[in-house]
Amino acid sequence: MYNDVSHFPLEKKAVMALLKEHGITPTRQRLEIAYHLFQKQQHVSADHILEEVNALGNAVSRATVYNTMALLTRKGLVREVLIDRERVFYDSNNHPHHHFYNVDTGELSDIEDSADIDVANIPGLPEGLRVVDTDVVIKVSQR
């Protein structure tokens, strides 16, 4: 289930309402983190969020950022994109879509029109199971 967060930027009042609507207590730290995240469609790491929020004079801890991002992911407000064990991005575009990951630059970008990629009919899917969600990350490099 995806919640519609498609209008950027969100005002602080809208971010607070969004958090409450999804059963998240809008503490000052959560509000600052979510406000930063919902200013534009973006792919960011927790460490990047930590740096950006603290650079604006809002003291938040690394643990608070990681816990908040896990909560926003569980509640469906952001998508967690796993590149490998060491790289996790949080995507403020929570609609189903796929990504390119540039291994040379470390940049994650959306694949335009990725809804056209059909991965619903997986060969060998065990009987009685259905595909609930997919997250395709195509790793690319310069030639």
Query: Is residue 34 classed exposed, middle or buried when 0-12, 13-18 and 19+ CB atoms within 10 A define those classes?
Result: buried
- Asked if 40 and 8 touch (Cβ cutoff 8 Å), the reply is yes
Provide the pLDDT for residue 72: 97
Whether the predicted pLDDT of 123 surpasses 90:
no
* Span 4-39, pLDDT tens digits: 566 799 999 999 999 999 999 999 999 999 999 999
Residue 58 CB neighbours (<10 A):
15
Q: Which fold has domain 12-91?
A: Arc Repressor Mutant, subunit A (1.10.10)
- The reported pTM is 0.87
Whether the predicted pLDDT of 121 surpasses 80:
no
Give phi and psi for 83, each to the nearest 5. -90, -50
Average pLDDT taken over every residue of the chain: 91
Whether the predicted pLDDT of 1 surpasses 50:
no
Reported confidence tier of residue 132, pLDDT bands at 50, 70, 90: confident
* Span 72-102, pLDDT tens digits: 999 999 999 999 999 999 999 988 889 999 9
Query: What is the rounded CA–CA span in Å between residue 108 and residue 87?
Result: 11
Instruction: Examine residue 9 and say whether the peptide bond preceding it is cis (omega within 30 degrees of 0).
Output: yes
Q: Domain boundaries in the chain?
A: 12-91, 99-140
- The closest of 80, 4, 7 to 46, measured between CA atoms, is 80
Mean pLDDT (whole number) for 107-123: 80
Provide the pLDDT for residue 6: 63
